[in-house]
A and B are shown apart, each in its own frame.
Chain A
């Protein structure tokens, strides 16, 4: 009975040599391909992806999924007796036209591949793109674009082409980072006293500042109104918020306690008549 049914289907011609039976077989091949692709991707995500970097796992997963679907599609077309050589010729011309029209898309795709190979930053790294004025956490490097979560909580999508050609400053590669601040003290105050007071205050009130390497103090400039001292302190890389934003506060507190003046900009006007 089922055999007869299939024979009936084989006798129903749709277009040219395309019968209802061959279409059914093609449908089964495609459905099988889709199901296989989903199962393989699921198994990949469950067992293999956790051992890979997140970006690589994501892109390899897509490659496997779409690879199986393309193979299924080729099997489907050959099962239908469709000759792809004509399409190939037309496809060649079509590809040139599409190539011109989608230059940026292809460029982003290629850049994405190179980003995955080069790995200038990985998922979760805190990065800065100085040319674009973007700082934040790298969420992923996708096929065409990369996503960065900025410190204000918003997510920005950057086309891979721009990301690849941009200067990328990684803020999480080193074990420690340095915070800096500049302060001016009055010419009448003693520099050594000021440095001692600041050093002491940093030690007492900034627990995330490293004792080794020691905080560094440089008399940077004998300015118009003040002696400018640069203060450089090291902190664990993840504790920027416990160092840089409060460094100036600690310096101000230290100088206030020590009675050292932070002078306002001032100008001496000399009157030749007097």
Chain B
């Protein structure tokens, strides 16, 4: 996405709506208009031609809307808390070594109605519906259903692709006695918060530890908070998933 195109789209953030508000995102238009003294209408059209219309009865004169990135779990339907990131390049780790990488991670966008200190979910969209698909980690009977994405490595934390992908830092630790190649990571993304600034997004990171448990080599994946002054996105989904993920090594 070019810089010019990026500038034509609405940034993440809080918007006051007195009479009308129009938000423009890639392949998506959102309109909020006053339709009476105590009501607003919400209209959204995306690239598939799907139209969502809602009425928002309110008590106050104006409403506040927050446009914020959310976890990529809702399109095409909410089925899992897990995300399967397949790296475009494999990462080789020597024995007893560690490395930090930045990867792109898909995101979706939430539209929240601000009610006092609460953020209520009004709608959500994806600007990359073609790449919002499922994948299975493991066998059909016992495997884990995940949102699947083939991702590229990012240069740094600010290298996010606006409205489509955020950046996540992954710390890889190889505590095994042999070199290992890491090509994917599977984790419950409900533990990872998102942060935004203008149209850029970062996510809480991951710590992947390759270690031995009894005779089996495993990859232990845990969430790690990121230290940033960017605005934290509202949490929307259930956060009842397990707090870590163990992957088998191939």
Contact = CB atoms under 8 A, between A and B. Distances in A.
Interface in B81-140: 84, 86, 129-130, 132-137, 140
A95 interface: no
What secondary structure prevails in chain A residues at the interface with B?
mixed
A257 B41 CA distance: 39
B144 A175 contact: yes
Contacts of A208: 76-77, 134
A173 B142 CA distance: 9
B141 A207 contact: no
Interface string A170-201: 00011111100000000000000000000000
Considering the complex of A and B, which 9 residue pairs feature the smallest CB-CB distances, nearest first? A212-B135, A207-B76, A174-B141, A211-B133, A210-B134, A174-B140, A211-B148, A236-B79, A211-B135
B76 A210 contact: no
Interface string B46-81: 000000000000000000000000000001110100
A192 to B, nearest CB: 22
B36 interface: no
B134 A204 contact: no
A220 interface: no
B140 A239 contact: no
Interface in B1-53: none
A234 B141 CA distance: 12
A238 interface: yes
Contacts of A113: none
A39 to B, nearest CB: 35
A207 B148 contact: no
Interface of A: 173-178, 203-204, 207-213, 234-236, 238-239, 242
Contact of B136 (A234, A238, A242): A234
Contacts of A177: 140
B133 A207 contact: yes
Contacts of B185: none
Contacts of A178: 140
A175 B136 CA distance: 9
A177 B132 CA distance: 19
B75 A207 contact: yes
B129 A207 contact: yes
Contacts of A210: 133-136, 148
Given A207-B76, A207-B133, A176 B140 contact: yes
Contacts of B136: 175-176, 210, 212-213, 234
B77 A175 contact: no
B42 to A, nearest CB: 24
A4 B134 CA distance: 83
B142 A175 contact: yes
Contacts of B133: 203, 207, 209-211
Given A175-B143, A207-B133, A212-B148, 20 more contacts: A175-B140, A175-B144, A176-B136, A176-B140, A176-B145, A203-B130, A207-B129, A207-B132, A208-B76, A208-B77, A210-B134, A210-B135, A211-B148, A212-B84, A212-B135, A234-B136, A234-B140, A236-B134, A236-B145, A239-B79
Contacts of B141: 173-175
20 contacts: A174-B140, A175-B136, A175-B144, A175-B145, A176-B143, A177-B140, A203-B130, A204-B130, A207-B133, A209-B134, A210-B134, A210-B135, A210-B136, A212-B84, A213-B136, A234-B140, A235-B134, A236-B134, A238-B79, A242-B76
A235 B140 CA distance: 10
Contacts of B144: 175
Q: Tell me which of A173, A210, A242 has the highest count of chain B C-beta atoms within 10 A of its own C-beta.
A: A210
Nearest to B135: A212
Contacts of A239: 77, 79
Contacts of A211: 133-135, 148
Contacts of A175: 136, 140-145
A174 B142 CA distance: 7
A216 to B, nearest CB: 13
A127 B246 CA distance: 31
Contacts of B75: 207
B129 to A, nearest CB: 7
A178 B140 CA distance: 9
A235 B148 CA distance: 13
A166 to B, nearest CB: 22
Nearest to A210: B134
